[in-house]
A = this chain, B = another copy of it.
Amino acid sequence: MSKNRISEKLSTEPYKGVRDFYPEDQQFLTYLFSTIRGVVERAGYVEYHASVLEPAELYTSKGADNAEIINEQSYTFVDRGGRQVALRPEMTPTVARMVAARRRELAFPLRLYSLPNLFRYERPQRGRLREHWQLNVDLFGSRSPLADAEIIMVAYELMRAFGASESDFVVKVGSRAYIDHVAQENALSEEQTKKLLGLLDKKQKISEHDFSVGLRELGVSESVLSPENPPPEVVELLKYFGDAGVGTVVYDPSVVRGFAYYTGMVFEVFDTHPDNTRALFGGGRYDNLTALFEDASPEGGVPGVGFGMGDVTIRDFLAVRGLLQPYVPPTAVYIAVTSPDLAVEAQALAGTLRREGVNVAVDFGEKKLGDQIKTAAKHKIPRLIVVGENELATGVFSIKNLETGAEEQVPQEELSRYFNTL
Contacts and interface: CB of A to CB of B under 8 A. Distances in A.
A18 B51 contact: yes
Contacts of A244: 348, 351
Interface in A102-119: 102, 106-112, 117, 119
A11 B344 contact: no
Give the contact-size bracket for chain A. Answer: 35 or more
B22 A98 contact: yes
A233 interface: no
A364 B240 CA distance: 14
21 contacts: A10-B294, A11-B293, A13-B101, A16-B81, A18-B50, A21-B48, A23-B112, A25-B49, A42-B354, A42-B358, A42-B360, A44-B361, A52-B117, A109-B361, A111-B361, A142-B366, A144-B366, A146-B344, A147-B364, A240-B344, A244-B348
A329 interface: yes
Interface of A: 1, 5-6, 8-16, 18-23, 25-27, 29-30, 41-44, 46-58, 60-61, 63, 75, 77, 79-81, 83-85, 87, 97-98, 100-102, 106-112, 117, 119, 121, 124, 130-131, 142-144, 146-147, 149-150, 240, 243-244, 292-296, 329-331, 334, 340, 343-344, 347-348, 350-351, 354, 357-366, 374-375, 378-379
A199 B49 CA distance: 41
Nearest to A365: B144
A44 B331 contact: yes
A5 to B, nearest CB: 4
A79 B83 contact: no
A131 B51 contact: yes
Contact of A14 (B54, B77, B108, B362): B54
Given A79-B75, A111-B361, A363-B109, A144 B1 contact: no
Given A1-B60, A146-B344, 13 more contacts: A1-B84, A9-B292, A10-B61, A13-B55, A19-B50, A20-B49, A41-B359, A42-B357, A43-B354, A79-B121, A142-B364, A150-B362, A244-B348
A292 B98 CA distance: 43
A67 to B, nearest CB: 9
A233 to B, nearest CB: 15
Given A29-B49, A50-B14, A54-B14, A44 B150 contact: no
A1 B121 CA distance: 20
